Structure 1
């Protein structure tokens, strides 16, 4: 997927090799020796990968060589995955010695030795080919690689800028505030919105010119070297070069330039979020007069957090009419009578809507239409995929947006590229995306890092949000976060994914052999098998099936896919309607992710599903017709996330408790479920327990409080459930951070056994519990509590004593709690003093602040 990614792939493969070399299963029949030879061959190729990947765009032969490398690496990864799978089978058997001496084990190991030899020979041939290209050996991590942006400058013609007058006035007004000595105004937004253009408008504004005695413009880009930056600032202030000065001289000269002057400094296109460097710079700028300003333009929210977010300005998109005006300005020669082309103007309005407020998109599309008066040309632009519209130079859509991608650490690039598999504009579930990344082996842990892949995935997600590549991040529930990508960002993902990801919308004649991930979203698959064009993709790793109400997936198609694509890591069948999952699913030894959720037709899962020892995520929630879980589901020792809906009254014995790798357990819509097994206590790794819509469930197992790593507990719509059971032991220090209790009619008194969560909980939601009367006294000790929501609890009349001491509380929402709302009224409520310190206080959707009273 794109450049600078094979280096990461080979590191992952070498990591697998290191783990296998200590497996007792492979210390016989020469397997270990052959594995070491394979390791040597991979390491030799790794040395030149960085140089090869940088030169492939200008050397066709290097590009072809890298394609062979990529294909060989994929095959090596698959081979090692099979070896790992055999080791997992051995764990399930539990009788190592008997298996080692069995004929099946010896046959497998001999086969492995032969295949590893073939793979090593293949890699040696590829390695020999590198000598033809004169490639340099480099072993450094490429994740800090940067690509230069064009030199930034301060000039802009006001007549060339459309739709930014209000933004300009808003920034100018902020510049008039002189309460701080030197304040920073970050302008943040995705690439192509016009942050630099807006900064130029402000810089050249006549009022600003009168207000500041000194103005300086510096293009930062990746160059946050302090000496370089000081030199640029001085040269902008003095219009003279200072190349020969050392660091101490530069500092003295900079302070002299700013001394007793009210200045405006523009730092354009800042990427570096090193707090130490920023503090050093700010300390040098303090020599100016009070009211001096620094404007920072950036795409990175991490930069905003470093420079200060109090005065941040989030730059939004243009109105579609402004985009329309931009398109026309670039599409028609000056002075031409546009009214003569009303048919083109009508199409142009539709194109403007597609621009989604991004002026760079509007200008690019307009330039493509320059002097074109044939209606078909405009229609093609309107109906085409924006990602195909690549121009020459930095001013076109993908090159500009691609900067956001180029500045990503190398380990994030394949994660971002993989997002191209989703539909444009689709809202994506954050947890599901992280689980998909895990399934593809895209989440890497640093040496010595002892973190779960889910936690690392959270960090990856935050980094991509910070780079403004993900947007519209929303909480759709206490434990559900969704987001989407701007259409242009999605087009960028498609571009960098190159030929590895294919979104098939209709019959496809030619398909590249390099395709590894296929999305069939929007295809009608009723009554048909797999197309011949797809059958050749023997090494396919991902297949997404139709959803969003298109319930046409046929049993025959599913059966053929599973029998054909034996290297699948991901099968997403969400919202499909086939009735039988074929037994052949048990042959997918590489499978990590299987989503069957929202299938209302499937009645049972084949017993062979329990052979999927690599399976990490199984989503069978909202499968209302599913009668029961397979008896041997406990064999899925690699399972980390289970989302389940079944008709059974209880789960099979020695099943759930054997899933000792389980990180999250979501039990949803189990209408007949009466009890949960006590063996849940064996789930020592469990971090999330969510139980929803189980009307017959009367109690939780008493062992629930022994789940030492439990961080999230959510119970919703369980009408018979009584949480306040004395049989549950009180644990002194539970680690639960998120607690959600909603629609629980029997929730009368606060569960005594949750007293141990006082010091850990940071989000608490109580909703629609009509019998609840009060909160526990230990709530006042919740030193970590940041968000509290109390909704639809009419009998609650007061907050516990000492509530005013919860100084970490940032958000308090009270809704449909008439008695409690009266006590918190800022004018007449007796308990107003207990909540007056909360920054965000909402009562019945109205925000109330202490400054109003």
Structure 2
């Protein structure tokens, strides 16, 4: 990884370093020779890095040279961070006394005129360090000139990231060539009635080499509709290496009970599992099992086998047949390689996406030859397809076929050649972003927005100073990687569409490749003897401590172990407070759920920190020194249930872009100064309560806010200052916010709610208040709308049918007794023009409307008048009616009109409807809804 890291670091640091040296030289009346020399030296190093990258594959000496170059690049960046902090403090008038004295010393140098540049370098700390770094660069450059003699690359083509015009991501969710395998697997999981296997609990294993599609096959079976009816409980657990029985047990409980168990003793967990699954038929998938130690599996095995209902199944995926036997598999399904035509089918689906038919025809012959290279591995076909997608000519395809990567002995038998080919095509900054993902554990569910913030913290995303530019570039880098199949298992943003991924994972083999690039830089520390003794390379830059059982050894945090760390992730571990004084270089500090009750003042000394996650801790107050972290870009305080508020000096965090406070107390204090953080793009919650100083007017100038924002207002009235503050918030001009939640509890009067009118660009609104304002009907771009606790809707409810793009509508706890035909625009049937009510609505949910007794239906005559109501709910696919205790009957004829699209009807905790429509209870009107494909009544 050093090659990409160095090229990216040097390209970013060279102009910045030149500027610093120029300023130092100018202060001492020195010519610019030193600056010009340094700039030229950096540019020369950049030019030879591409050649060095190729030679480093086979030459360990070159790799060592790159490692030294990377090491000095980190040191350069540290020095420049200190310089930036010094300048920022000077500009803000917050310079320390030592900084003031330092400038007085520089001024005396200027007045005397007797000091040469070399002397000023020695006296000025920043300049002195730069001078030392400059000498180290001389040695590295000389080593190239004397020994390696790398060939310069003078082309600019690879230096600038070229945004891919088509940003559509091809998600190959269908598993090609495995139809028979899927049928066989389902047959093993759902044996025929009367068979020997029907009444027992069995373990079924899928065994195959990495990249063969074991997990995908298991996913298809797990999500098959037949499984939903057969198994009362379905559980998916990613196991990976090492086998952690406590982690697996907790994952099982979390899937069954829908909440994280607050248990740490294995015996207690087993007892809870026993209680949760007792007498229930379950399907448990244990994905990616490696352990050959049956003693770790046996207690779980016994608990599951003895307490599950007959017909339960455990499905195991593994690369090792011996593991399947140790797990106690009664049936084993071996995955053979795909045929070449099936590999071609996967490869061409990706590689030909968006191409002209003529181009596809020209490339088919060589493409089929490429498919033979895949050796039957679906992942290889996906990866190679992702590479070829961006090769436009026949000659470019031939160049891939002739690549020397195929000749690499150490990777000839596995997937790495395909990943290496795609990796080599990446821009250096994108390479760096990819390789950093080795810091996450295997099977880790990655939040893409958070990943981009992490890349940003490490300087992988450069910016010209435009707000939001780095986040946009990070999204482009991610999409580039996703389209080349470096990520998979996408979960898309439902509001934006299928081109914006919210969550994803990395395939195990892709993760292995990333780790191979970062062996001397990234480390995921396990709970083992070596880790406890701190036995790892002291040059590690990025450290992720997975959950340890018991206390972590103090030796783990010695100064020598932590002095070079740039990333420190430690989740669900108790850490010593003195650690903060050991992380002088860290840029990313993730202490999520680390049992912190206090944050020491020393955190203010971590001047390089750009990403700070203190979420899920018991912190009551943040120290004021946290406001000295001038470089801070992301501050995550999510689910800090005891935290009183933000520190008083919050306005000093001028670089803060993402502030996450969801899950903090309702009386959380948003201190004055928040309004000066004009670079904020994320503020997920803001609260305003009578008697507290939080003012809605703090939001006035935060016009870069985007994503999701929840505003909670409690115990306000229409007093002048509250309405005035709501108007100052100017939500109407917050055009980047896509999802707004307004919770107006115990709000007296109407003025505050009216003044909180959001931008018409809003895509989703969750509105909970007693009054329903007219401005809702102006939000013409809404895709999702939830309305709750409304007592007086003033007729606005009947206007919702005119929202042209509304796809989901939820009515929650409304004080209404009937849902009239007027709601659907059917005040009179005899109209000259067919009404178009809710033209895009796909999901309609009525929940906890405890006063709702009637839902008006159209008459027999109107049902036959197709022309008059042909446009009624034309897209409705799903209808849910939950906790409506007084509702007597459904509008049968109205629902029949929606029958062509209506696929799912769910009725829950509605006693009258349960009695009337339940097929099993002989409901009198079951036949009225029997035409709906899926009906669930409980």
Indicate the TM-score class for this superposition, using the shorter chain for normalisation.
Answer: 0.5 to 0.7
Give a deviation string over 1:91-111, Cα, whole Å, max 9, x none.
322899x96994377699932
Give a deviation string over 1:664-711, Cα, whole Å, max 9, x none.
112278999854341320213222452267655777722233544442
Q: Please name the residue that 1:486 is paired with.
A: 507
Matches within 5 A, 1:639-678: 639-644=656-661, 649=667, 651=669, 654-667=672-685, 675-678=694-697
Give a deviation string over 1:119-141, Cα, whole Å, max 9, x none.
12211221121122121101445
Does the aligned pair in 1 maintain the 2:569–2:589 contact within 8 Å?
yes
| Post-superposition offset of 1:443 | 2.1
Matches within 5 A, 1:618-767: 618-644=635-661, 649=667, 651=669, 654-667=672-685, 675-688=694-707, 690-691=709-710, 701-705=726-730, 707-715=733-741, 719-720=745-746, 725=751, 734=759, 736-741=761-766, 744=768, 746-752=769-775, 757-758=779-780, 761-767=781-787
Q: Gapped runs of 5+ residues in structure 2? A: 108-119, 162-175, 185-208, 218-340, 365-377, 392-407, 826-833, 883-894, 904-930, 932-938
Q: Please name the residue that 1:604 is paired with.
A: 621
Please point out which of 464, 487, 505 is paired with 2:481: 464
Matches of 1:15 and 1:272 in 2, distance apart? Answer: 39
Corresponding residue pairs, total: 644
Does the aligned pair in 1 maintain the 2:837–2:872 contact within 8 Å?
no
Measured at CA, do residues 532 and 715 of structure 1 come closer, stay the same or move farther in structure 2, by a change above 3 Å? Answer: closer
Matches of 1:430 and 1:778 in 2, distance apart? Answer: 37
Does the aligned pair in 1 maintain the 2:645–2:668 contact within 8 Å?
no
Q: Please name the residue that 2:347 is paired with.
A: 269
Matches of 1:264 and 1:585 in 2, distance apart? Answer: 56
Measured at CA, do residues 403 and 678 of structure 1 come closer, stay the same or move farther in structure 2, by a change above 3 Å? Answer: same
Matches of 2:736 and 2:519 in 1, distance apart? Answer: 41
Of structures 1 and 2, the one with the larger relative CO (CA 8 A, separation 6+) is 1
What's the C-alpha RMSD, in Å, of the aligned pairs? 5.0
Measured at CA, do residues 747 and 103 of structure 1 come closer, stay the same or move farther in structure 2, by a change above 3 Å? Answer: farther
Query: 718-727 or 522-531: which moved more?
Result: 718-727
Does the aligned pair in 1 maintain the 2:350–2:389 contact within 8 Å?
no
Does the aligned pair in 2 maintain the 1:510–1:533 contact within 8 Å?
no
Alignment pair present for 1:430 and 2:448: yes
Alignment pair present for 1:278 and 2:278: no
Give a deviation string over 1:299-358, Cα, whole Å, max 9, x none.
589899999xxxxxxxxxxxxxxxxxxxxxxxxxxxxxxxxxxxxxxxxxxxxxxxxxxx
Alignment pair present for 1:814 and 2:845: yes
| Post-superposition offset of 1:470 | 3.0
Alignment pair present for 1:516 and 2:535: no
Measured at CA, do residues 59 and 475 of structure 1 come closer, stay the same or move farther in structure 2, by a change above 3 Å? Answer: closer
Q: Please name the residue that 1:74 is paired with.
A: 74
Matches of 1:825 and 1:495 in 2, distance apart? Answer: 67
Measured at CA, do residues 400 and 520 of structure 1 come closer, stay the same or move farther in structure 2, by a change above 3 Å? Answer: same
Alignment pair present for 1:103 and 2:134: no
Measured at CA, do residues 403 and 535 of structure 1 come closer, stay the same or move farther in structure 2, by a change above 3 Å? Answer: same
Alignment pair present for 1:593 and 2:611: yes
| Post-superposition offset of 1:37 | 4.0
Residue 84 of structure 1 aligns to a residue in which SS?
helix
Matches of 1:536 and 1:396 in 2, distance apart? Answer: 34
Alignment pair present for 1:84 and 2:84: yes
Matches within 5 A, 1:526-565: 526=551, 529-531=554-556, 535-547=560-572, 552-554=573-575, 557-559=576-578, 561-565=579-583
Q: Please name the residue that 2:438 is paired with.
A: 420
| Post-superposition offset of 1:588 | 1.0
Measured at CA, do residues 663 and 401 of structure 1 come closer, stay the same or move farther in structure 2, by a change above 3 Å? Answer: same
Residue 490 of structure 2 aligns to a residue in which SS?
strand
Matches of 1:424 and 1:686 in 2, distance apart? Answer: 33
Please point out which of 94, 98, 112 is paired with 2:126: 112
Matches of 1:672 and 1:619 in 2, distance apart? Answer: 26
| Post-superposition offset of 1:36 | 4.7
Matches within 5 A, 1:181-220: 192-193=211-212
Give a deviation string over 1:606-628, Cα, whole Å, max 9, x none.
11111111001111132222223
Does the aligned pair in 2 maintain the 1:662–1:683 contact within 8 Å?
yes
Query: 436-445 or 842-851: which moved more?
Result: 842-851
Residue 518 of structure 1 aligns to a residue in which SS?
strand
Measured at CA, do residues 741 and 117 of structure 1 come closer, stay the same or move farther in structure 2, by a change above 3 Å? Answer: same
Give a deviation string over 1:42-71, Cα, whole Å, max 9, x none.
112111001001101222221111111111
Matches of 2:771 and 2:25 in 1, distance apart? Answer: 58
Q: Gapped runs of 5+ residues in structure 1? A: 146-160, 170-189, 199-262, 287-295, 308-389
Residue 531 of structure 1 aligns to a residue in which SS?
helix
Matches of 1:721 and 1:100 in 2, distance apart? Answer: 55
Give a deviation string over 1:472-511, Cα, whole Å, max 9, x none.
3336997994333333333333223322111112324432
Measured at CA, do residues 396 and 843 of structure 1 come closer, stay the same or move farther in structure 2, by a change above 3 Å? Answer: same
Does the aligned pair in 2 maintain the 1:4–1:142 contact within 8 Å?
no
Does the aligned pair in 1 maintain the 2:645–2:671 contact within 8 Å?
no
TM-score by length of 1: 0.64
| Post-superposition offset of 1:546 | 2.5
Matches of 2:642 and 2:144 in 1, distance apart? Answer: 57
Measured at CA, do residues 457 and 673 of structure 1 come closer, stay the same or move farther in structure 2, by a change above 3 Å? Answer: farther
Residue 473 of structure 1 aligns to a residue in which SS?
strand
Matches of 2:439 and 2:874 in 1, distance apart? Answer: 46
Matches within 5 A, 1:315-464: 392-400=410-418, 402=420, 405-406=423-424, 408-444=426-462, 452-464=469-481
TM-score by length of 2: 0.58
Please point out which of 581, 591, 601 is paired with 2:599: 581
Measured at CA, do residues 264 and 569 of structure 1 come closer, stay the same or move farther in structure 2, by a change above 3 Å? Answer: closer
Q: Please name the residue that 2:187 is paired with.
A: none
